[in-house]
Chains A and B, each alone.
Chain A
Amino acid sequence: MESPQFFKRGPGLFARLVFFVLLSLSLMAVDSRFQHLAQIRSGVATVIYPLQKLVVLPIALYHRAGDFFSTQSQLIEDLAALKSARLEDSSQLQRYLALEAENRHLRDLLGMRQRVDAAAVNATAAEILYLPQDPFSRKITLDQGSQAGLVSGQVVMDGVGVIGQITRVFPWLSEVTLITDKDHSVPVQVQRNGLRSVVFGSGEANDGGEAGGLEMRYLAVSADIQQGDLLVTSGIDGLYPPGLPVAVVTGIERNAAYAFARIKCTPAAGVGNNRQVLILSPLPAAAPPPLAPAEAQPKNKKTKRIR
């Protein structure tokens, strides 16, 4: 199998290895530290987009065929269930509207700023295209991208709670970093007593292959937190709308030897449960945080003017 001499390429095997190793190492360094490679990534993503679509095509067809062949009695049953659910929801919604009006009125009386209007946040629906299979990061890919007006930083949730945040947008796809990704943080509040904290993704893979866990760090051993507490977004970051369920506390380890309690949580929403997700539109930009006491003065005036 010895080839003629003129087919041999110049550099030797080892030189080529060194070249490619250095190239990929520098790619990795640039990709993890800077944002310069977004164009390359977007180009490559467009190249493999047809392949990704092709792969999920049979599954999509299967679902569509299932939808097509659903029986009439099934549809009638579904309709009845949905109607009764809607009745229940509408009674709750009316109460909610009344409470919201009352809350606005009370805030006016107290002279507080109005909360960010949750109704102003509208949502786009998207479907999970597939779950990428990297054991080192927790991400999912959605079937909508910058063509549908998505931008990175938007919050993704399902019917139950927060799933994650869009981190990369391609023309027809977008990547969502799950809240369970290592060191992904969400500012939360314990629903029971309003205790504020930040919940971090632990990034650990569990056997289900699905989402790992979450943990609350830097909470004192004596903090008032119980097993089964629901954590909701606090909204103080101006990114997540307040009040969305994030996680449930599943394990607390209070060891006086450490400064902080170890608190394990599991995400409220499940990525494996449903294919449809909601992408929330970005919140109106919050006022920038005061930098120094000297700058705080004009900001207060501004707040008053808005009100």
Chain B
Amino acid sequence: MPNNPPKQEILLPAKIGVILLSLTLALIFNLLPFSGTALLLRPDFVALGLLYWSINQPQKIGMGAAFVFGLLMDVANASVLGQHALAYSVMTFAALLFHRRMRMFGLRQQAAQAGLLLLVAQCVMLLTGLLAGASFPGLGYFLASATGALVWPPLSLLLRLPQHPKIDPDAL
């Protein structure tokens, strides 16, 4: 995995159903009733999912999907309508801008870059929160980006699973 560039493998194109299912699962994970430190450490799974698909399947998942899932998160989180939508749109824009470059790196290097993109989303959210008059929630708020970066490699491997071509047992 650390060799650079990574082992190129021809994957099947992702089915749109798989993409939507994974994003819905991510939404469910985001809705889990955590509190306290676990909540601070919990990565934003919807952001991770959107990031993964917009980097690996930019034709299928773009800013529109990011916006829609942002709205869903806004309603679930009881925050101002548009807060997550804005953050996810900006994050997906950055991901789409750099997706060719990011795919050249191995998963570990990708993880650092994904962490930065997650940080962008969190900064946008923080900015809108501060503009709305909320007080700064403390530096621990940014821990979610770090854990998101840590989760990136296993999550990528997991999301890649359904795309592996089935090996024909009769082939030599």
Contacts and interface: CB of A to CB of B under 8 A. Distances in A.
Interface of A: 3, 7, 13, 16-17, 20-21, 23-28, 30-32, 37, 40-41, 44-45, 47-48, 51-52, 54-56, 59, 130-137, 139, 141, 168, 175, 182-183, 202-205, 207-210, 272
Contact of A24 (B40, B70, B129, B137): B70
Interface string B14-35: 0000000000100110111111
A20 B82 CA distance: 10
A205 B59 contact: no
Given A16-B63, A25-B82, A208 B31 contact: no
B28 A51 contact: yes
A28 B137 contact: no
B72 A134 contact: no
B132 interface: yes
B130 to A, nearest CB: 8
B162 to A, nearest CB: 18
B71 A182 contact: no
Given A44-B72, A54-B28, A13 B97 contact: yes
Contact of A209 (B37, B77, B78, B129): B37
Contacts of A27: 81-82, 85
Contacts of B24: 51
A132 B133 CA distance: 19
A166 to B, nearest CB: 12
Interface in B21-71: 24, 27-28, 30-37, 39-40, 42, 59, 62-64, 66-67, 70-71
Given A130-B31, A133-B34, A137-B79, A182 B133 contact: yes
A202 B71 CA distance: 27
A48 B135 contact: no
Given A52-B31, A205-B138, A209-B37, A132 B89 contact: no
13 contacts: A20-B86, A23-B85, A24-B67, A24-B86, A31-B80, A32-B132, A54-B28, A55-B28, A55-B31, A136-B129, A182-B134, A209-B35, A272-B35
Contact of B59 (A7, A135, A182): A7
Interface of B: 24, 27-28, 30-37, 39-40, 42, 59, 62-64, 66-67, 70-72, 75-83, 85-86, 89-90, 93, 96-97, 128-129, 132-135, 137-138, 141
A55 B32 contact: yes
Contacts of B32: 55
A39 to B, nearest CB: 12
Given A13-B93, A28-B128, A209 B39 contact: yes
Contact of A130 (B33, B62, B71): B33
B132 A209 contact: no
Contacts of B90: 17, 21
A168 B31 contact: no
Contact of A134 (B35, B63, B78): B78
Given A41-B81, A44-B72, A136 B31 contact: no
A294 B5 CA distance: 84
Nearest to A210: B35
Contacts of A137: 78-79, 134
B39 A133 contact: yes
B89 A21 contact: yes
Nearest to A141: B78
B81 A40 contact: yes
Nearest to B79: A134
B83 to A, nearest CB: 6
Nearest to B27: A51
Smallest CB-CB A-B distances: 6 pairs: A27-B82, A136-B129, A136-B134, A24-B86, A28-B82, A135-B137
B35 A41 contact: no
Given A24-B86, A28-B86, A137-B79, A131 B33 contact: yes
Contacts of A203: 134-135
B82 to A, nearest CB: 4
Contacts of A202: 135
Contacts of A37: 81
B163 to A, nearest CB: 13
B80 A32 contact: yes
B86 A48 contact: no
A27 B86 CA distance: 10
A132 B77 contact: yes
B82 A24 contact: yes
